[in-house]
């Protein structure tokens, strides 16, 4: 087994758990829909939280040709996957046992942690390229990632409902463009 295959086994497990976490959240919403008050930004973030680990797994295939692996590189890659998992774990509430769930209330109660985990995932993404190759990603990728960082930082401290109602679809659109420009093909 080569180093890339060995490393990606653990990475795939963590990213798979992130996907599972979001899917379980959607399942909970469906099964308990009578006692859930929906909130559009939360639902948009949940879709994004489902796409991010898929995109990360897809993008990480480019590491297959990396010749020299270090523990630091492994650690940074794993920290990115863990922060992606935390985004997925925080986006939707655990509905079991709850009498009523308000997604808006959940969103604002965990907003800072959710966007903090998002910020961490982007910082670790940038750090991953530094740890592996000694430089930041290409300019377009770096520009997108700095934009994601700025958005997460502002969102973590902003309570404005209008801001969050606009940010979620804007972020989703920006993420779709990011994928389309940089990750449509391996």
Q: Which single residue is written with the structure tokens 């942690």?
A: 113
Span 94-98, average pLDDT: 78
The Cα–Cα gap between 54 and 56 comes to 5
Report the largest interatomic distance among the alpha carbons of the chain, rounded to a whole angstrom: 53
Q: Is the pLDDT of residue 183 over 90?
A: yes
Cβ(65)–Cβ(115) below 8 Å? no
Beta-carbon contacts of residue 95 (< 8 Å; ≥ 6 apart)? 25, 28, 29, 31, 32, 35, 36, 101
**What would the pLDDT profile of 111-154 be if each residue is shown by its tens digit?**
999 999 999 999 999 999 999 999 999 999 999 999 999 999 99
The DSSP letter of residue 64 is G
Closest CA to 90 of 59, 52, 123, 125: 52
What is the model's pLDDT at position 15?
A: 98
According to DSSP, the residues that pair with 37 across neighbouring strands are 102
**What would the pLDDT profile of 29-53 be if each residue is shown by its tens digit?**
999 999 999 999 999 999 999 999 9
The Cα–Cα gap between 62 and 184 comes to 13
- In the chain, what are the domain boundaries? 3-182
The Cα–Cα gap between 84 and 119 comes to 10
Q: How far is CA 14 from CA 26, 84, 96, 99, 124, in A?
A: 19, 9, 23, 31, 15
Mutual angle of helices 161-182 and 40-60, in 10-degree steps: 20
């Amino acid at each position: 087994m080569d180093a890339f295959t060995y490393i990606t086994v653990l990475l795939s497990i963590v990213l798979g758990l992130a996907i599972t976490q979001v899917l379980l959240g959607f399942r909970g919403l469906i099964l308990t829909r009578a006692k859930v008050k929906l909130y559009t930004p939360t639902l948009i973030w949940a879709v994004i939280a489902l796409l991010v680990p898929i995109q990360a797994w897809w993008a990480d295939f480019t590491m297959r040709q990396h010749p020299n692996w270090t523990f630091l590189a492994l650690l940074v890659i794993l920290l990115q996957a863990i922060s992606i998992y935390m985004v997925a774990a925080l986006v939707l509430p655990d509905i079991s046992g709850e009498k009523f769930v308000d997604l808006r209330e959940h969103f604002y109660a965990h907003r800072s942690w959710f966007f903090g985990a998002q910020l961490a995932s982007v910082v670790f993404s940038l750090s991953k390229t530094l740890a592996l190759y000694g430089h930041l990603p290409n300019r377009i990728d770096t520009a997108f990632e700095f934009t994601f960082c700025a958005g997460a930082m502002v969102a973590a401290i902003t309570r404005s409902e209008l801001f969050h109602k606009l940010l979620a679809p804007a972020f989703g659109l920006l993420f779709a463009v990011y994928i389309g420009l940089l990750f449509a093909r391996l």
